[in-house]
Amino acid sequence: MTSRLEALCLEKGLKMTGQRRVIAQVLSDADDHPDVEEVHRRAALIDTRISIATVYRTMRLLEDVEVIERVDLGDGRARYEEASADHHHHLIDTRSGRIIEFASPELEAIKERIAHDLGYKIVGHRLEIYGVPLDDAGADGQGANGAGPNGAGPNSAGKEQ
C-alpha cells in the first residue's frame, strides 16, 4: 500500500527503500507532532529492524525536500509535522502538553510589515504561544504575563490536533 507521504516522496524523485516506506507510512498516519524517537518507536511496530540513525537521516531528508517540517517547541528535541501550504503556528498547553494549531492572516500581515519597516525580507519565522486553559487557570506558577485580552474583531482560526 502506498501511503500519502510515500507518493509525495516518489514525486520528489526519492529512492524508496523499505525503511523509508515505513517511515512515510508512520508520518502519514500521525496527526500529532512526534519527535524522532517517537517516529522510531512507531516505525518499529511495523518493522523491527529500523535503526534510529536511519530515522534521523530520513527525517532530515524529508525536511530537505519539504515533505515534512521541523517544529521547535522549545523542549530540547526536534518535532515534525507534514509540510503544508497554510502557514500556522502553535499554542502549547503547558498543563497537558497538547498542541493546538492556529493561523492568523492578520498576524502574518503585521509580521510582514514589521520586517519590511526594518528593511528586511522574511525568509522564515516562528511563533509559539504557551498557555493554560482559561477554566482551571488557578494554581499555576509560570512567569505570567499581564495585559488582559484586548484588540478588535475576530479573525484567528484554531484547529486542534
Partner DNA sequence: TTGGGATTGCGAACGGTTTGCAGTATGATG
Partner DNA sequence: CATCATACTGCAAACCGTTCGCAATCCCAA
Least separation, in Å, of the C-beta of 13 and DNA? 8
Phi/psi at 37 (nearest 5 deg)? Answer: -60, -40
Question: Which of 72, 124, 65, 120 shows the shortest CA–CA distance to 99?
Answer: 72
77 is a contact residue toward a copy of itself (CB under 8 A): no
Distance CA 99, CA 75 (A): 13
113 is a contact residue toward a copy of itself (CB under 8 A): yes
32 is a contact residue toward a copy of itself (CB under 8 A): no
Q: How far is CA 77 from CA 62, 89, 95, in A?
A: 17, 18, 19
Distance CA 156, CA 161 (A): 16
**Length of the chain, please?**
161
149 is a contact residue toward a copy of itself (CB under 8 A): yes
Nearer to a copy of itself, 13 or 119 (CB): 119
Residues that bind a copy of itself (CB under 8 A): 66, 72, 74, 87, 91, 93-94, 100, 102, 104, 106-135, 137, 140, 142-145, 147-152, 154-156, 158
Residues that bind DNA (CB under 7 A): 14-20, 35-37, 49-54, 56-58, 60, 76-78
